[in-house]
Amino acid sequence: MQRQAQIDARHAEAEARARPLIAHVIYGLKTGGLENGLVNLINHMPAERYRHAIVCITDYSDFRLRIRQTGVECYALHKPPGKVPGFYVKIWRLLRQLRPHIVHTRNLTALAVQVPAMFAGAPIRIHSEHGRDMIDLDGSNVRYQRVRRLIRPFVHQYIALSRDLERYLGDRIGVPPERLAQIYNGVDTELFKPAVPVVRRYRSRALPGWTL
């Protein structure tokens, strides 16, 4: 029994090396643009190359059922609003358990997870900005800028989904150009494409010979 457990552990470790685990950290997996983009990203990434886990700071809904790739685990940490003592210890323990090769946080609400991710030993740490906060639409909130600057050393690579956010991270937060990339959200052109025009002819009984 012990020998079989050792064999299983070696197989699991070999699979982890062959397929790195990406831990996607978001506020919550519910209906939304960011969440839809994450689901599409997972669905379109080659399953034979990467594994995925979604860590929700709050909770997830049935929206997770849109994920078509098998084996994607969702974790809900149920953090209430405000400061919660011990929360980041909790997420550190989860990341230590998952041992992801990449930790990818999204937006300000998940940015601070970069710190426990570093202490958990995540070798690659990515943060992306998907849009503005409702109470900071122009990016002028000084407190938010300070938080972002404070955590900047813990992030290996930044991704901005717009040119405006790229300029904000570079000019206001001081992210070096070599650690900052701007990538637009992709569109599935197989699903969203111009419809084939269909011309139908209708004959009116009231106006013989009239067609539309």
Query: pLDDT by residue (tens digit) across 85-111?
Result: 899 999 999 999 999 999 999 999 999
Mean pLDDT of 144-173: 97
Q: What is the distance between the terminal CA atoms of the chain, rounded to a whole angstrom?
A: 77
Residue range of the domain that includes 176:
2-182
212 domain-assigned: no
On whether residue 66 sits in a domain, the answer given is yes
Q: Which residue has the higher pLDDT, 201 or 65?
A: 65
pLDDT at 130: 95
Give how many domains the chain has, as a whole number: 1
Residue 209 lies in a domain: no
Indicate if the pLDDT at residue 175 is higher than 90.
yes
For residue 158, tell me if it sits in a domain.
Answer: yes
Residue pair 69/43 in contact by the 8 Å Cβ criterion: yes
99 belongs to a structural domain: yes
**Contact partners, residue 183, CB within 8 Å, separation at least 6:** 159, 160, 161
pLDDT band at 212 (very low <50, low <70, confident <90, very high): very low
With respect to residue 188, please indicate whether it lies within any of the assigned structural domains.
no
CATH of the domain at 94: 3.40.50.2000
For a pLDDT cut of 70, what percent of the chain falls above it? 85
β-partners of residue 21 are 51
